[in-house]
Amino acid sequence: MAREEGGEQAPAPVAAEGVARGSRELVMAVPFLRGPGASESVTTVLVALAANVLIAVAKSAVAVVTGSASLVAEAAHSWADSGNEIFLLIASRRARRPRDRAHPLGHGREAYVWSLFAALGVFVAGGAVSVTRGVQELIHPEPAEHFLAGYVVLAVSFVLEGISFLQSVRQARSEAEPLERDLIEHVMATSDPTLRAVFAEDSAALTGLVIAAAGLAAHQLTGSAVPDAAGSILVGVLLGVVAVVLINRNRRFLVGEEADPRVRSAAIRALLEMPEVARVTYLRLEVVGPRMVFVTGDVDLTGDDTESHVAVRLRALEAKFCASPAVAGAVLSLSAPDEPSLQA
């Protein structure tokens, strides 16, 4: 075990050699640390924004023509989603700002703040408007007409939403595979709030379109506005549930959440495989932004170096972590002699 004793300062090349020898191995051993992948998330949001704007315009026009409560709810839903994509783009941009003196861990958590605003938009502008419109239709029913136009718009909207949904699925699957997660598990667990928001919004949109089509068809067949109004209320409830889930996930990341246990285990294995590390007795990877962590831990170094040499070796070990753009910072300390070693 390395001892903390007085001694002269080790030369700088020792640290540089340690970084060069192990940084790549550590980063590659932990899938979470292989890079931020922010550009893929931006692409996913832009695809969703383009689809939602087109859909919102079409739904609004046909809602006026048909007088369908379900289509009014769907139009409100799409306009809300369009506005939310703006929040998500802001979230992605601001979270990528470099660290500075006032923000030594970077600005990653801003992504959760702006994504929280987007989730509130789903709840208020989407869910509340849809439920309100449905209740109004039940109290003061109005006849609908031009049903064919409504069906055409719903079909086109389904195709456009499907394109956006498939983009989010493709990104989620590519990220889930190295972490050995299934699709839904990764969407719920990922530290990237933009991916989760687009996936959830598109899933809700596709389900809402089916509900709206059913309500419109029932209105046409029965001549009653009740099924149409019920469809509007169901769309609102669906959006409310999605919003609550998104709000809760953003809240948890803002408060502070540890990285997936599998990521932690991979990091422990990577550390134990390094020749300079004898034991790892504590390791915490806290999420501080989309695909970004802050690492703290206690390790036992091999050999019996003096205090000055130990300090240099610890700094070199921290530098190996920080070689990845996904690590906002790392602080490692020496383990106490009686602390048990962690098992990966």
312 in the same domain as 192: no
CA 67 to each of CA 56, 74, 146, 240: distance values in angstroms, whole numbers, following the listed order:
16, 12, 9, 24
Q: Do residues 177 and 169 lie in contact, with contact meaning Cβ atoms separated by under 8 Å?
A: no
Beta bridge partners of 277: 301
Domain with residue 150: its CATH number is: 1.20.1510.10
Cα–Cα distance for residue pair 148/224, rounded to 1 Å: 17
> Which amino acid is present at 185?
E
Domain termination residue (choose one: 234, 255, 276):
255
Half-sphere exposure of 329 (CA within 13 A, CB side): 11
Judging by DSSP bridges, how do beta strands 327-334 and 277-289 pair with one another?
A: unpaired
What does the pLDDT read at residue 169? Answer: 93
265 in the same domain as 250: no
281 in the same domain as 136: no
Domain termination residue (choose one: 240, 255, 270):
255
The answer to whether residue 275 sits within a structural domain is yes
Residue found by looking up tokens 């130990």 in the block: 310
The answer to whether residue 269 sits within a structural domain is yes
What does the pLDDT read at residue 99? Answer: 83
Domain with residue 314: its CATH number is: 3.30.70.1350
The answer to whether residue 250 sits within a structural domain is yes
164 in the same domain as 87: yes
266 in the same domain as 199: no
Question: Which run of H or E residues covers position 184?
Answer: helix 183-189
133 in the same domain as 204: yes
What does the pLDDT read at residue 34? Answer: 55
| Long-range CB contact pairs, 313-318, < 8 A, 24+ | 313/2, 313/10, 313/14, 313/15, 313/18, 313/276, 315/15, 316/14, 316/15, 316/16, 316/17, 316/18, 316/19, 317/18, 317/22, 317/271, 317/274, 317/276, 317/277
Task: State both tokens at 101.
Answer: 């003196």
Q: What is the largest CA-CA distance in the chain?
A: 91
Q: Do residues 25 and 270 lie in contact, with contact meaning Cβ atoms separated by under 8 Å?
A: yes
What does the pLDDT read at residue 27? Answer: 60
Residue 267 belongs to domain spanning: 12-31+260-334
Cα–Cα distance for residue pair 93/87, rounded to 1 Å: 10
Residue 57 burial (CB count, 10 A): 15
CA 204 to each of CA 62, 190, 199: distance values in angstroms, whole numbers, following the listed order:
20, 19, 9
What does the pLDDT read at residue 7? Answer: 39
Cα–Cα distance for residue pair 301/278, rounded to 1 Å: 5
What does the pLDDT read at residue 183? Answer: 92
Cα–Cα distance for residue pair 100/5, rounded to 1 Å: 34
Cα–Cα distance for residue pair 333/198, rounded to 1 Å: 40
pTM for this predicted structure? 0.79
User: Which DSSP string do the residues of 117-175 spell out, in sequence order?
Assistant: HHHHHIIIIIIIHHHHHHHHHHHS------HHHHHHHHHHHHHHHHHHHHHHHHHHHHH
Q: Do residues 238 and 258 lie in contact, with contact meaning Cβ atoms separated by under 8 Å?
A: no
18 in the same domain as 163: no
> Which has the closest alpha carbon to 158: 210, 201, 199?
210
**Per-position pLDDT tens, the chain of length 344:** 444 333 343 344 443 444 444 455 566 556 655 544 567 788 888 898 898 899 888 888 888 888 777 777 778 878 888 888 888 888 888 888 888 888 888 888 999 999 998 888 777 777 787 888 788 888 888 777 778 888 888 899 899 999 999 999 999 998 888 878 899 999 999 899 989 999 998 998 899 889 988 988 888 888 888 888 888 899 888 888 888 999 999 999 998 888 888 888 888 888 888 888 899 999 999 999 988 889 999 999 888 777 778 888 889 888 888 887 788 888 999 998 888 888 86
125 in the same domain as 74: yes
Residue found by looking up tokens 């809700």 in the block: 204
196 in the same domain as 173: yes
268 in the same domain as 242: no
Burial class (CB in 10 A: 0-12, 13-18, 19+), 98: exposed
